[in-house]
């Protein structure tokens, strides 16, 4: 049996997840990275993106709204600005957030900071909708 790593996902509100798993894949700002037991320690900045973790044949998914990951040989700690497990995501809320962001984006062209903020909101909404589907597959 494979050695396990402890995956912890922490948000400003709560400890979302503390679970022993065999493999973790997270979305860094430079792309996806995978972690197995015994990985060399490193720190990564996380993008708005998918986190997936596998235990045996089962894979779970979470939406991460950016943050940091600390990796050691036996533990992955994700500090996320916001995070939801696939089964916790309200897909209607994400759909509404997506529509609102799309409407705002059309209006804020040229206002740099506002454009970046709304673009990030759109990215979060689309991620949440994708993670719901991944969790159901």
130/124 Cα distance (integer angstroms): 10
The nearer residue to ligand ATP, 25 or 120, going by C-beta atoms, is 120
Minimum distance, C-beta of residue 3 to ligand ATP, in the bound complex (Å): 31
Residues 6+ apart with CB under 8 A from 87: 135
Identify any residues that bridge with 58 across adjacent strands, giving them in sequence order: 55
- Measured CA to CA, the distance from residue 116 to residue 110 in angstroms comes to 10
Output 19 or 130, the one with its CB closest to ligand ATP: 130
For ligand ATP, the closer of residues 69 and 118 by Cβ is 118
Q: For ligand ATP, which is the closer residue by CB, 76 or 97? A: 97
Q: Which parts of this chain interact with ligand ATP (CB under 6 A)?
A: 13, 65, 82, 84, 88-90, 93-94, 97, 121, 124, 128
Minimum Å gap between C-beta 106 and ligand ATP is 17
Cα 63 from chain centroid?
4
CA-nearest of 25, 89, 22, 88 to 58 is 22
């Amino acid at each position: 049996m494979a050695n396990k790593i402890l995956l912890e996902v922490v948000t400003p509100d709560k400890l979302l997840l503390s679970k022993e798993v065999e493999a973790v894949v997270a979305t860094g700002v430079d792309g996806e990275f995978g972690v197995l037991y015994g990985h060399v320690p490193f720190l990564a900045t996380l993008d708005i993106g998918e986190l997936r973790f596998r235990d045996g044949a089962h894979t779970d998914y979470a939406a991460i709204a950016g943050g940091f990951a600390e990796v050691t040989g036996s533990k992955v700690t994700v500090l996320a600005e916001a995070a939801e497990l696939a089964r916790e995501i309200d897909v209607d809320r994400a759909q509404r957030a997506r529509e609102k962001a799309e409407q705002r984006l059309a209006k804020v062209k040229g206002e740099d900071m506002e454009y970046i903020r709304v673009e990030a909101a759109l990215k979060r909404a689309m991620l949440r909708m994708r993670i719901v589907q991944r969790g159901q597959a």
